[in-house]
Amino acid sequence: MLRFEKYVRPETPREAYELLQENRLATVIGGMMWLRLADRTVPLGIDLSRCGLDTIEETDDAWRIGAMVTLGQLERHERFAASTCGIFTEAVRDVVGTQFRNLATVGGSVWARMGFSDVVTAFLALDAEVELEGAGVMPIIPFTERGARNDLLTHVIVRKHRYQAAFASVRNAATDFSSLNAAAACWQGSWHVTVGARPKKATLLTGGERIPLRRDFSPAELDAVCELAEGLDYGSDLRGTAEWRRQVAPALIRRAVAAAAAKPCAEKEA
């Protein structure tokens, strides 16, 4: 069981951040769905539920998603879904069940950067950034690779584009963790393809600083990306072997790209 010697509910992200700086052994509490599985005693629990981080804001060029927004809240947000071709809804629809998704948060999912995460795989394919109370705004890719220490994730920002986007995963059983997942999003003329649950954390394969895959790719160009996917670093666990993942990844990527390409481009103003 997880025990807190002291439990606080600060009113602002700044107050929460300062408490975290003063108490290096403190634990930030999001939806608590992962944390509750721990068996330890923590000197201080900092609950973010009163920090005003539970809203989804829309501006002319971006979505600003509060860390305490639940997976269910974002999944059911019709304008966000229309603006991102429903990729997030596709990514979380098999995450446990509705009640669970009404508690697990976007912030907890992105902060934890779990290898099996469907949420991280989907966000990585979009033009996304994370906003940290201490370190400020940074692109989601370096954050996913390296994380941040003793900070507080306050928002995930998704820039608006005329996306075509889709998510695909393989699960041994419905609602189990993904054995392998992939997402594909086309924006600013190029495809951003991610592969996750390798079981290492998700990585971007094309787009950004990786090799480009242009919007109107040739079959040979997609073949080259699939070959690259075979070369990723895979591991074995009880959900699949490294060799199985290596063989399935190209098919999953083709599936995600084909599904995304078949969708109409999202309107920037959904």
Ligand X SMILES: Cc1cc2nc3c(=O)[nH]c(=O)nc-3n(C[C@H](O)[C@H](O)[C@H](O)COP(=O)(O)OP(=O)(O)OC[C@H]3O[C@@H](n4cnc5c(N)ncnc54)[C@H](O)[C@@H]3O)c2cc1C
State the residues that interact with ligand X by CB under 6 A: 27-35, 37, 48, 67, 71, 95-96, 104-105, 107-109, 111-112, 117-119, 152-153, 177
Q: Least distance from C-beta 100 to ligand X, angstroms?
A: 7
Q: Least distance from C-beta 171 to ligand X, angstroms?
A: 8
Q: Least distance from C-beta 65 to ligand X, angstroms?
A: 11
CB of 32 or CB of 270, closer to ligand X: 32
Q: Least distance from C-beta 105 to ligand X, angstroms?
A: 3
CA distances in angstroms from 22 to 6, 18, 26, 27, 197, listed in the order given: 14, 6, 9, 12, 35
Q: Least distance from C-beta 205 to ligand X, angstroms?
A: 19
CB of 85 or CB of 104, closer to ligand X: 104
Question: Integer distance in angstroms from the first to the last C-alpha of the chain?
Answer: 44
Planar angle of CA 144, 123, 191, nearest 5 degrees? 105
CB of 10 or CB of 107, closer to ligand X: 107
Q: Which residues pair with 164 in a beta bridge?
A: 186
CB of 3 or CB of 215, closer to ligand X: 3
Whose CB is nearest to ligand X?
108
CB of 161 or CB of 245, closer to ligand X: 245
Q: Which residues pair with 165 in a beta bridge?
A: 185
Tokens representing 177 are 């963790």
* Cβ atoms 147, 113 nearer than 8 A: yes
* Cβ atoms 183, 120 nearer than 8 A: no
Q: Least distance from C-beta 28 to ligand X, angstroms?
A: 4
Query: Within the chain, how many helices (H) and strands (E) appear?
Result: 10, 12
CB of 80 or CB of 123, closer to ligand X: 123
CA atoms of 123 and 2, how far apart (whole Å): 30
